[in-house]
Amino acid sequence: MTPVVTPITLSANTATTRGQDPGWVNPLVHEADVSIDQQLPGNIGVSGSWVFSRALHLPAFTDGNLGQTTATKTYTYPGGGTFTVPFYSSANRLNATGPILTGRSVVNSLYNSFVLNVRKRLQHGIEFAVNYTLSKAEDDGQVAGQFGTFNGTDYTVDPYNQKGMWGLSDLDQRHRFSANFVWKPDFAQHWSNKAGKLLVNGWVLAGIFTAASGQPITGLISGTPAGAIDGGLTGGMVNNSGTSPSTYQDPSVPRNFYAGPGYWDIDARVSREFTIKERFKLSLVGEAFNLLNHTNILGVNTTQYSLGTGTTTLSPVATFLTPTTTSNGLVGARQLQISGRISF
């Protein structure tokens, strides 16, 4: 029997498919680091390091079913400022079936950092380490999170201008500082008074202080302009599912233009071991996480503007950058715990 093929014509936007560009290549990363170490008196060591990373051919996923456009659309900011972007409409759809989420090896990233470390080995009952990192991470669409770089990117504003996405990385953190110490006081080592030794000796105090600047935030816009074939103010943006995103980047400013909230935290620990008999020892430990109960902001409202239906005027969102969530982890509300152990 001869098979019979019956052609059908699909209406617009009836299917979303995925694929890879024929020019797809594997990512490539160049890395380098240079360190200088110096030993100082008092068992103190100092080191400085420069760390470099350059990644090439990371994937971006855009709608491959859009042809290039010569059309533009102009939008108005609150206060009267304007900006113009390319605009994609149904006239740019190459095949009526719908978006084709296409992976292209076009994203690059750049990371530079300087790391300073000061450390003191245990001597006279004291040891400590101090670390400071100054870094900058940039890219044109790399992301982390549940979808990850290999299943999506920050939504590309213009599928024919990936380089226009260049800005601070979602992972950028400019400053990070941490310090920790351990102190085992030994004031009564040569005392003959047994009660004094029992009271003073044997305690161990430890603490960790961590502080970091906030990671960058992109101001988002809600609302889809009239005539857009996909999403965003360009009409050419798709999300990781190949559909129009509900909120999207403001194309008039770089990605991650705003600074998010930083955080700091102090953790502490005190412990003591008691010898009951020669073979029996009692250990007591008290720990405090976020000792000062400092509130660390975990998330803020990132929607900066809204676009009214059928308009080209952006309206400000009054709650932009206001806190929405606080941390509920170890840098959340203060946590205290005590424990004991008998060993024999």
**Which of 78-82, 112-116, 240-244 comes out lowest in average pLDDT?**
240-244
Q: Which residues contact 318 (CB under 8 A, 6 or more apart)?
A: none
Check pLDDT > 90 for residue 154: no
Diameter over CA atoms, the chain: 108
Give me the pLDDT at residue 276, please. Answer: 76
Coil vs helix vs strand at 283: strand
Strands (E), 124-199: 126-139, 167-168, 175-183
The more confident residue out of 277 and 110 is: 110
The more confident residue out of 23 and 202 is: 23
Give me the pLDDT at residue 11, please. Answer: 56
Domain membership flag for residue 3: no
Check pLDDT > 60 for residue 14: no
Residues 89-102 have a mean pLDDT of 89
Q: How many domains does the chain have?
A: 1
Give me the pLDDT at residue 192, please. Answer: 64
Q: Of 99, 92, 87, which is closest to residue 13 (Cα–Cα)?
A: 99
107 contacts 58 by C-beta, under 8 angstroms: yes
Domain membership flag for residue 5: no
Give me the pLDDT at residue 329, please. Answer: 75
Q: Which residues contact 194 (CB under 8 A, 6 or more apart)?
A: none
Domain membership flag for residue 239: yes
45 contacts 37 by C-beta, under 8 angstroms: yes
Whole-angstrom Cα distance, residue 267 to residue 331? 9
Domain membership flag for residue 103: yes
Specify the DSSP element, H or E, that contains 303. Answer: strand 303-307
Q: Of 221, 239, 222, which is closest to residue 230 (Cα–Cα)?
A: 239
Domain that holds residue 200: 30-343
Domain membership flag for residue 169: yes
Give me the pLDDT at residue 196, please. Answer: 63
Indicate the pLDDT class of residue 123, thresholds 50, 70 and 90: confident
The more confident residue out of 65 and 278 is: 65
**pTM metric for this prediction:** 0.83
Domain membership flag for residue 175: yes
Q: Supply the mean pLDDT for the chain.
A: 88
Give me the pLDDT at residue 3, please. Answer: 72
- Pair type for strands 44-63 and 28-40: antiparallel
Domain membership flag for residue 2: no
